């Protein structure tokens, strides 16, 4: 168990990187507390797997230091680093029994036979593998194999963190939530640091206490699921998280308002003061756009293009000049395509972005 510090880490796969595009992982500085559940969330190519491989030691970062509890492990190889990893596809040792698979990491580290048996039995019980211990590991189903892979990470008592590299990819959808719940339970019982890589926001948001959102090699925001939802620090975070993502509308600042096309979104003076001249982006989540005046809100007129009834709510797709806007509304409100609609944007939920980053 350890606190993990990524101190000014950056990585490039080419020898002499100069421009940002040369880096697979832009410089970042993060600290992860002992016992936390973290998720690295981002589309493919966002650098999350590179970051994971840096943690496990499969990749040595070209810049910066990696510290476990203030001990520099940057140059320590995977074998001697206290890290466990679960891969996308279940990795098991075909010729061994389930018991031998689980005992393998301990035997390699010279743990005594009785201690090994005790620990393996304990972990097998958590993972519901007790009944399979004497079976050959190779004939089992994908989800059982993936539980064995997890088990090999969990048996070690000395690990600083267990890394999961999209571990539910090959698992049957019906079993996915079971395994995910199992992971949560493990996290509670063993209080081990878990770092989970995924491109699936539902997986990340349900699993992790804190989510690190990445895109094109850069860490855009780290925060609780709530923070990512309510206060995205970057347009990418706003757009990537949420279903559908945040409405992002290009606007120009003009006196006491933001101009979206020809319409004025009046803003309080302190927000105008913090904003910048020129092109900006106004962001608001579809959940916060209101069809009734909630008080302290800016008014917009939009024309409805399409309505998706989704049971619990309906999703209204509307157009404002050249800009599209999505609105989540109560299912009983009657709205039809072609209708002009007045919508309110509550001041508290309006975000202004410049160059993609949150300004006010």
Partner 1 sequence: MKPIRHSAWFMIMPVMIVLLFTAIIPLMTVVNYSVQDILGPTRRVFVGDEWFRDTLGDPNLQRALLRQLIFSSCVLIIEIPLGLGLALVMPRRGFAASAALVLLGMPLLIPWNVVGTIWQIFGRADVGLGGYFMNTVLGIPYNYALVPNDAWFTLLLLDVWHWTPLVVLLCYAGLRAIPDAFYQAAAVDGASTWSVFRFVQLPKLRGVLTIAILLRFMDSFVIYTEPLVLTGGGPGDTTTFLSQFLTKLAIGQFDVGPAAAFSLIYFLIILLFSWLFYTALAAQDPKDTPHAGEGA
Q: Determine, following the binding rule CB under 8 A, whether residue 134 of this chain makes contact with partner 1.
A: yes
- Name which of 192 and 316 has its Cβ closer to partner 1: 192
Q: How far is the CB of 84 from partner 1 (least distance, A)?
A: 6
Q: How far is the CB of 355 from partner 1 (least distance, A)?
A: 38
Site for partner 1 in 15-74 (CB under 8 A): 56-58
- Name which of 112 and 274 has its Cβ closer to partner 1: 112
Q: Determine, following the binding rule CB under 8 A, whether residue 139 of this chain makes contact with partner 1.
A: yes
Q: Determine, following the binding rule CB under 8 A, whether residue 87 of this chain makes contact with partner 1.
A: yes
Applying CB under 8 A, what is the total number of residues that bind partner 1? 34
- Name which of 99 and 353 has its Cβ closer to partner 1: 99
- Name which of 78 and 157 has its Cβ closer to partner 1: 78
* Binding region for partner 1 (CB under 8 A) out of 147-155, 208-216, 245-253, 292-300: 147-155
For partner 1, the binding residue among 46, 149, 314, 326 (CB under 8 A) is 149
- Name which of 46 and 149 has its Cβ closer to partner 1: 149
Q: How far is the CB of 87 from partner 1 (least distance, A)?
A: 4
Cα 301 to the center of its chain, rounded Å: 35
- Name which of 146 and 281 has its Cβ closer to partner 1: 146
For partner 1, the binding residue among 30, 126, 133, 341 (CB under 8 A) is 133
Cβ–Cβ contacts within 10 Å for residue 11, how many?
A: 23
Which one, of 152, 184, 149, lies nearest residue 167 by Cα? Answer: 149
Q: How far is the CB of 164 from partner 1 (least distance, A)?
A: 12
- Name which of 46 and 85 has its Cβ closer to partner 1: 85
Q: How far is the CB of 104 from partner 1 (least distance, A)?
A: 5
Site for partner 1 in 91-130 (CB under 8 A): 91, 93-97, 99, 104-105, 108-109
Which residues, including other chains, have CB under 8 Å from residue 263's CB and lie 6 or more apart? Answer: 300, 301, 320, 321
Whole-angstrom distance between the N-terminal and C-terminal Cα of the chain?
Answer: 38
Q: How far is the CB of 58 from partner 1 (least distance, A)?
A: 6
Q: How far is the CB of 140 from partner 1 (least distance, A)?
A: 8
- Measured CA to CA, the distance from residue 32 to residue 24 in angstroms comes to 21
For partner 1, the binding residue among 135, 169, 178, 354 (CB under 8 A) is 135
Q: How far is the CB of 78 from partner 1 (least distance, A)?
A: 4
Q: How far is the CB of 170 from partner 1 (least distance, A)?
A: 12
Site for partner 1 in 279-298 (CB under 8 A): none
Q: What is the 3-state secondary structure (H, E, C) of the chain?
A: CCCEEEEEEEECCCCCCCCHHHCCEEEEEEEECCCCEEEEECCCCCCHHHHHHHHHCCCCCCEEEEEECCEECCCCCHHHCCEEEECCCCCCCCCCEHHHHHHHHHHHCCCCHHHHHHHHHHHHHHCCCHHHCCCEHHHCCHHHHHHHHHHHHHCCCCCCEEEEECCCCCCCHHHHHHHHHHHHHHHHHHCCCEEEEECCHHHHHHHCCEEEEEECCEEEEEECHHHHHHCCCEHHHHHHCCCCCCEEEEEEEECCEEEECCEEEECCHHHHHHCCCCEEEEEECCCCCECCCCCCEEEEEEEEEEEEECCCCEEEEEEECCEEEEEEECCCCCCCCCCEEEEEEEHHHCEEEECCEECC
Q: Determine, following the binding rule CB under 8 A, whether residue 152 of this chain makes contact with partner 1.
A: yes
Can you give the binding site for partner 1, defined by CB under 8 A? 56-58, 77-80, 83-85, 87-89, 91, 93-97, 99, 104-105, 108-109, 133-136, 138-140, 149, 152-153
């Amino acid at each position: 168990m350890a606190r993990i510090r990524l101190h000014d880490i950056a990585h490039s796969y080419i020898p002499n990187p100069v421009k940002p595009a040369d880096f697979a992982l832009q410089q970042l500085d993060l600290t992860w507390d002992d016992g936390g559940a973290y998720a690295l969330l981002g589309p493919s190519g966002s650098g999350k797997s590179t970051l994971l491989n840096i943690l496990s030691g499969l990749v040595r970062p070209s810049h910066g230091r990696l510290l476990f509890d203030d001990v520099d492990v940057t140059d320590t190889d995977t074998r001697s680093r206290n890290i466990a990893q679960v891969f996308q596809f279940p990795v098991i040792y075909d010729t061994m029994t389930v018991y031998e698979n689980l005992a393998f990491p301990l035997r390699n580290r010279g743990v005594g036979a009785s201690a090994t048996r005790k620990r393996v039995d304990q972990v097998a019980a958590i993972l519901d593998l007790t009944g399979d211990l004497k079976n050959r590991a190779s004939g089992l189903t994908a989800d059982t194999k993936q539980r064995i892979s997890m088990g090999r990470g969990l048996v070690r008592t000395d690990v600083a963190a267990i890394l999961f590299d999209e571990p539910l990819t090959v698992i049957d959808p019906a079993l996915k939530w079971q395994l995910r719940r199992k992971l949560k339970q493990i996290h509670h019982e063993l209080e081990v640091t878990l770092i989970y890589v995924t491109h699936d926001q539902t997986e990340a948001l349900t699993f992790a206490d804190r989510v690190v959102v990445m895109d094109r090699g850069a860490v855009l925001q780290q925060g609780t699921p709530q923070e990512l939802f309510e206060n995205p620090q970057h347009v990418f975070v706003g757009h990537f998280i949420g279903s559908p993502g945040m409405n992002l509308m290009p606007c120009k600042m003009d006196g006491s308002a933001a101009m979206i096309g020809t319409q004025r979104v009046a803003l309080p003076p302190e927000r105008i003061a913090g904003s910048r001249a020129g092109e900006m982006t106004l962001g608001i989540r579809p959940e916060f756009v209101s069809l009734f005046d909630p008080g302290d809100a800016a008014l917009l007129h939009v024309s409805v293009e399409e309505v998706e009834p989704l049971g619990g709510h309906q999703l209204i797709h509307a157009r404002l000049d050249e800009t599209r806007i999505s609105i989540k509304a109560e299912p009983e409100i009657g709205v039809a395509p072609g209708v002009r609609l007045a919508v309110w944007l509550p001041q508290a939920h309006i975000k202004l972005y410049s160059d993609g980053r949150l300004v006010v």
